[in-house]
Structure 1
Amino acid sequence: MAGGWSNDGAVQEQIDDSLADAVARARSQLPSGAGLEHCEECAAPIPEARRRALPGVRLCVSCQATHDREQAAFSGYNRRGSKDSQLR
């Protein structure tokens, strides 16, 4: 049941779009191609075990941890437009 200016299924469309955006973003960050023997950020050697466990790895553990913390701060688009999410 739609209310106001929204059509039937508008909420589900928002959920589907948000989910599709999150999946596309996650897939774009997956490593691909040949991995590196040395970190592309700090040039530290990447251990063989890490290269075998993560094909296509490009960062050492500490640089990857820093990268992950930076990515966690990304919240995406505010599709709902609620005041609380705009204040963040």
Structure 2
Amino acid sequence: MATGWAGDGAVQDQIDATVKDGIERARRNLPQGPSLTHCEECDKPIPLARQKAVPGVRLCVACQEEADREQEGAGLYNRRGSKDSQLR
């Protein structure tokens, strides 16, 4: 029986690669090093509780929310989309 161009397990390999990429991206975005006492964007003080909760924090909550919104827009492109989804 013909299986087409994809090898056995190709779909699972694609899913695994997508998950692996997501994990690596999340790890790269984790803050590292000592927390700052003031936001590097707006220079407002970062509460001590936030500094303890997020090691290596660099932004206040408001600036972090803005940075997260900006990153959301960049993550909407599926570079591993199926041929069918690329034709739409």
The interval holding the TM-score normalised by the smaller chain is: 0.7 to 0.9
TM, length-normalised to structure 2: 0.84
Deviations 1:33-74 (A, max 9, x none): 101011111111111111111111100010000011112221
What is the aligned-residue RMSD (CA, Å)? 2.2
Structure 1 runs not aligned, ≥5 long: none
Q: Distance in 1 between matches of 2:81 and 2:50?
A: 40
The percentage of aligned residue pairs carrying the same residue is 52
TM, length-normalised to structure 1: 0.84
- Does the 8 A contact of 1:78 with 1:86 survive in 2? no
Tell me the residue number matched to 1:28. 28
Please list, as runs of the form range in 1=range in 2, the aligned pairs for 1:8-87 lying within 5 A after superposition: 8-73=8-73, 74-84=75-85
